[in-house]
Amino acid sequence: MKVEKKTLQIVKSIAELRQLLDRNGRNSKTVGFVPTMGFLHEGHLSLVKHAKEQNDIVVMSIFVNPAQFGPGEDFVSYPRDIENDTLKAADAGVDILFLPTAEDMYPFEGGIKIIPGPQANELCGVKRPGHFDGVLKVVLKLFNIVDPDRSYFGMKDAQQLAIIETFVRDFNLRTTIVRVPIVREEDGLAKSSRNVNLTEIERCNAPIIYKALAQGAYHYDQKKEKEEIERLVAEIITSNSSGAIDYVSLLSYPGLTQDIKHSEEVILACAVKFSTTRLIDNIIMSTKDGSYVSNDDEQ
């Protein structure tokens, strides 16, 4: 298989991409896959950086997946900028950019569903029924199309990451999931495509989310009770911003259960809704000594 390492190849056809990446023609070259919904920022490019370090060929997909958006969610308004994304992908060293359409990805509807397990009943899954069904649907299709050796996911979407890791493990999918640390703005706000929808005042308020989580992590280190930590984080956010708390939860990770005492890692996660924008963030900690697990990018 011939792939120009320094020239971005844009592919829109599933059949063409499969032909390019046919495992029998790879000549032992490894493929790293970065699935995205576009409007690329430093977080996405960090995924590419890790993929380039560990693979011969890097494939990125950009597809705003309608299957994971519920009624009243921001599918139509979700930010899109394919022209700028293409330039960023090329500059980052992506080899193949896959740009499928919804018609190509979902030409038929046979009624078969992928139902996630109890991990989907916590955090974002509580108020977004069916969301992770749609995530697993598109992830399975993309894995089958690309057939990557490794697939790269950011730790900001920690619930999604946990569910995908479980899916790959339980269904013996061939790819290996690689966790990539969160990339943050200088003031601590986690990079997100949705940040552009914040008003000027909301953007000034938003960094309190990470500061509140850091305070919660400190109190976890001080052996405070689960409910006390969750209440503290919520109070800090509501007292210092206009954001409305969706949830603040301290759970086991990656199991996402209430039993935090028998898990090697725990996650302190929250979702905060501003006027038109819902932001998520998290910190992952070790249960052995209360220390932070590095889920922030230190580049």
User: What is the residue extent of each domain of the chain?
Assistant: 9-180, 193-286
**Residue 290: predicted pLDDT:** 59
What DSSP string describes 168-199? HHHTT-SSEEEEE-B-B-TTSPBP-GGGGGS-
40 is in an annotated binding site: yes
156 is in an annotated binding site: yes
| Amino acid in the structure at residue 28 | S
**Residue 72: predicted pLDDT:** 82
155 is in an annotated binding site: yes
According to CATH, the topology of domain 9-180 is Rossmann fold (3.40.50)
Query: Strands, E, within the chain: which ranges?
Result: 9-11, 31-36, 57-62, 96-98, 150-154, 176-180, 244-253, 265-273, 278-286
222 is in an annotated binding site: no
Backbone angles phi, psi at 85, to 5 degrees: -60, -40
**Residue 6: predicted pLDDT:** 66
**Residue 3: predicted pLDDT:** 45
Tokens of 277: 């924008």
38 is in an annotated binding site: yes
68 is in an annotated binding site: yes
- Residues counted in the chain: 299
Q: Does residue 50 carry a catalytic annotation?
A: no
**Residue 297: predicted pLDDT:** 64
Distance CA(125)–CA(172), nearest Å, equals 24
Backbone angles phi, psi at 35, to 5 degrees: -80, 130
CA dihedral for 187, 254, 230, 286, sign (positive or negative): negative
Tell me the average confidence (pLDDT) per consecutive run of 10 residues in the chain, 299 residues long. Answer: 69 97 91 97 96 98 95 89 98 98 95 95 94 97 98 97 98 97 96 94 98 96 93 98 97 96 94 95 85 59
Annotated catalytic residue: which of 44, 50, 219, 262? Answer: 44
What architecture is the 193-286 domain classified under in CATH? 2-Layer Sandwich (3.30)
Confidence (pTM) = 0.92
43 is in an annotated binding site: yes
Name the residue among 7, 13, 191, 193 with its Cα closest to residue 86. 7
Distance CA(154)–CA(169), nearest Å, equals 18
Name the residue among 37, 45, 50, 146 with its Cα closest to residue 87. 45
**Are the C-beta atoms of residues 92 and 49 closer than 8 Å to each other?**
yes
